[in-house]
């Protein structure tokens, strides 16, 4: 009889252990997993490891949560698609545009940027919006700002996998201009070994707030942890100091308690 009771207790204990293990695993699986691309000054890979404003911010938030910073790098379009379709992914820097509003949970505001056209310095003649409409323009693949061009009547739009490729296409004359966020292009010139003097800003079209966005299905409790970590850094003045370091303008957006 005693042996039977012990056997029952052993089985019950095993079931409880399995249950607790499963719960711990589920909790671990709900943790936010970050995705990024080579998009300076926000995040990029260098010989010294990941760099950038958003990566520094992520590292500090992760420290507040007692975690290690974890960013996987992908081509930008793939990173955005994976976040939309996944359950617990975050991606940055993500432009908050009307067509994206309902596709992501807008977690952490990063910066406000103006979108500009960069041509080769050697280009002669006027290059305002009117002249650019009939020229080949390159944009980052997966970026929503391609719609800014389409609305304005641009028809010769080419997509590139990253900023390095965009700058190269301008320099060899494949396109007349590259269209992207001004701080991103200017930082990419420096980080990827292009001479800033070889390019010139010729026109500006549109602006947006950039965020660290996440999958809509991300657990609300997990989202709240990151928001609280960010708010602590903001209150301590760390966010403002990082923005000054990277010469970025504060995003005009807001955060709510549920990360939306």
List the domain boundaries for the chain.
Answer: 32-111+209-245, 113-208
Q: What digits encode the pLDDT tens for the residues 167-181? A: 999 999 999 999 999
Q: How far is CA 38 from CA 18, 63, 116, 117, 232, in A?
A: 41, 23, 19, 19, 27
Query: Who wins on pLDDT, 245 or 253?
Result: 245
- Above pLDDT 70, what percent of the chain? 85
Superfamily in which the 113-208 domain is placed by CATH: Periplasmic binding protein-like II (3.40.190.10)
The CA distance from 225 to 205, in Å, is: 36
pLDDT (average), residues 181-191? 93
Under CATH, which number does the domain 32-111+209-245 receive? 3.40.190.10
Q: Going by C-beta distance under 8 Å and a sequence separation of 6 or more, which residues neighbour residue 189?
A: 167, 195, 196, 199
Q: How confident is the model at residue 251 (pLDDT cuts 50, 70, 90)?
A: confident
Which pLDDT score, from 0 to 100, does residue 129 have?
95
Q: How much is the mean pLDDT over the chain?
A: 86
The CA distance from 260 to 171, in Å, is: 40
| Total-model pTM | 0.78
Q: What is the three-class DSSP state of 46?
A: strand
pLDDT (average), residues 159-171? 95
Q: What digits encode the pLDDT tens for the residues 109-153? A: 999 999 999 999 999 989 999 999 999 999 999 888 999 999 999
Q: What digits encode the pLDDT tens for the residues 1-56? A: 444 443 433 434 434 333 333 333 334 458 999 999 888 999 998 888 899 999 99
């Amino acid at each position: 009889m005693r042996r039977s009771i012990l056997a029952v207790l052993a089985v019950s204990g095993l079931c409880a252990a399995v249950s607790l293990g499963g719960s711990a695993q589920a909790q671990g699986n709900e943790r936010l997993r970050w995705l990024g691309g080579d998009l300076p000054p926000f995040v990029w890979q260098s010989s010294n490891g990941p760099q950038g404003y958003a990566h520094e911010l992520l590292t500090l938030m992760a420290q507040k949560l007692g975690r290690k910073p974890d960013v996987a790098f992908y081509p930008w379009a793939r990173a955005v698609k994976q976040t939309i379709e996944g359950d617990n992914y975050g991606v940055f820097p993500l432009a908050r545009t009307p067509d994206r509003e309902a596709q992501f949970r807008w977690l952490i505001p990063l910066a406000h940027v103006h979108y500009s056209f960069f041509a080769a310095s050697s280009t002669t003649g006027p290059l305002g919006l009117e002249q650019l409409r009939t020229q080949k323009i390159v944009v980052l693949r997966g970026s929503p700002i391609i719609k800014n061009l389409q609305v304005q009547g641009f028809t010769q739009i080419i997509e590139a996998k990253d900023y390095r490729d965009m700058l190269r296409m301008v320099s060899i004359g494949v396109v007349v201009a590259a269209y992207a966020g001004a701080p991103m292009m200017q930082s990419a010139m420096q980080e990827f070994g292009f001479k800033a003097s070889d390019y010139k800003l010729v026109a500006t079209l549109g602006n947006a707030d950039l965020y660290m966005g996440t999958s809509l299905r991300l657990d609300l409790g997990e989202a709240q942890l990151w928001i609280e970590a960010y708010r602590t850094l903001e209150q301590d003045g760390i966010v403002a100091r990082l923005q000054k370091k990277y010469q970025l303008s504060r995003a005009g957006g807001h955060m709510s308690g549920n990360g939306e």
